[in-house]
């Protein structure tokens, strides 16, 4: 089991025996160095190309496009609220939202 961190990929876990690679990263931060820039559909190909290069550099392996499996994807959006940021934050902080605890069973890949 190889665990690494990288400036562009903060979480890397590679199980050599099972040929299993797990990454956690932010696509905008990986591509642009920040989480503020919104990605476009045209950025996805560039992301996978650069990610392949980074993985090859760090681990010396190549993963075919057809072998990628996304297990989790978190989406976000930056809303332009002008100079009313404090008003939006106040309103959002007053909201109640239900919470769900996620339990993963039989995750032997880690």
Summarize pLDDT for 11-70 with one digit per residue, the tens: 999 999 988 999 999 999 999 999 889 999 999 999 999 999 999 999 999 998 888 888
Instruction: Identify the residue with better confidence: 108 or 17.
Output: 17
Which structural domain, as residue segments, surrounds residue 65? 2-93
| Residue 100 falls inside a structural domain | no
Please check whether residue 59 is in contact with residue 14, taking contact to mean a CB–CB distance below 8 angstroms.
Answer: yes
Question: d(Cα 45, Cα 11) in Å, to the nearest integer?
Answer: 21
In a domain, 50, yes or no: yes
Overall number of domains in the chain: 1
Kindly state whether residue 41 falls inside one of the protein's structural domains: yes
How confident is residue 108, by pLDDT bands cut at 50, 70 and 90?
low
Q: Select from 66, 32, 65 the least CA-distant residue to 48.
A: 65
């Amino acid at each position: 089991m190889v665990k690494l961190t990288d400036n562009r990929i903060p979480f890397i876990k590679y199980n050599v025996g099972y040929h299993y690679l797990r990454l956690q990263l932010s696509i905008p931060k990986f591509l642009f160095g920040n989480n503020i820039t919104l990605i476009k559909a045209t950025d996805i190909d560039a992301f996978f190309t650069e990610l392949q290069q980074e993985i090859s550099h760090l681990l010396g392996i190549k993963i075919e496009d057809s072998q990628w499996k996304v297990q989790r994807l978190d989406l976000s959006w930056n809303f332009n609220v002008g100079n009313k940021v404090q008003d939006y934050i106040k309103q959002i902080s007053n909201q109640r939202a239900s919470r769900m605890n996620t339990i993963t069973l039989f995750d032997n890949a880690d």
